[in-house]
Amino acid sequence: MNKKIRVGVAGYGTIGQRLADGVAMQGDMELVGIADLAPTLSIRALAENDMIGANNVKYNLYLVDGADKSQFDQMGIPVAGTFEELCKSVDIMLDSAPGGVGAKNKVIYEKLGVKAIFQGGEKNSVADVFFHGYANYEKGLGVNYLKLTSCNTTGLIRTVDALDRAFGLEKVAITIIRRVADPGDYHRGLTNALQMEKAPSHQALDLMTIMPHVNATGILVHTPVTHGHIITVLATAKDGRKITKEE
């Protein structure tokens, strides 16, 4: 039987919770632990369930530099060790820490010889490859550090890549009307306004980085809501042919 890949998750927020649960559900992976700074709502909820997460797996908690362990002790939240101790025990880290923190964590990963995958909020320069699991999977093979596309860009490229493989695309025009924040982060959102970012949006630029043969442009509008996004794609095939709904 092949040895399981030992995985750690840095940052147990919106993305980190999904990553930890996903790893816990994989038969070929072992979730060694999660790391965070403060006893957030998600960690307190986990502690109320005796640190048992998805698939009845125990989520061992490690603290990053700057964390106040006494806060966790006062709440009865068990701590397994430090962030570096977690990194020493894994084959790869899934870094879902806030934007910019992952780049600082990379110093530790490099020192310990640990591979890592960074969430979309980091700068592209943090990794060897700006990565999408569909459109440029082969470029991620054999490298130590990957940075994923953002959630919007990930879903967008899935659609564009499927159309490109089927029909061969020349260009796309993208419109994204997005919620301004996750439900738990509404305190940092717009109150009563619409905010449009400079065109082309970063999603269009990111798409062209992943799929340089497709010319892309797009606009993005932030809206004062917390429930979902609307994404539209106007795609043009290379030969000018019309792509029907049935196709």
Catalytic residue numbers? Answer: 151
Question: Are the beta carbons of 36 and 67 closer than 8 angstroms?
Answer: yes
Amino acid residing at 165: R
Among 92, 140, 105, which residue's Cα sits nearest to residue 11?
Answer: 105
Report the C-alpha gap between 135 and 236 in whole angstroms: 18
Structure-block tokens of residue 237: 């095939």
Q: Where are the alpha helices (DSSP H) in 31-171?
A: 41-48, 69-74, 83-88, 101-112, 151-167
Collapsing DSSP to helix, strand or coil, 187 comes out as helix
Closest CA to 13 of 146, 75, 102: 102
Note whether 126 and 147 are within 8 A (CB): yes
How many residues appear in the chain? Answer: 247
Edge to edge, what strands does the sheet with 81-82 contain?
81-82, 61-63, 29-36, 5-10, 92-95, 115-118, 145-148, 129-131
Q: How far is CA 40 from CA 50, 67, 95, 170, in A?
A: 15, 12, 17, 46
User: Cα(first)–Cα(last) distance of the chain, in Å?
Assistant: 43
Instruction: Please give the structure tokens belonging to residue 51.
Output: 């640190």
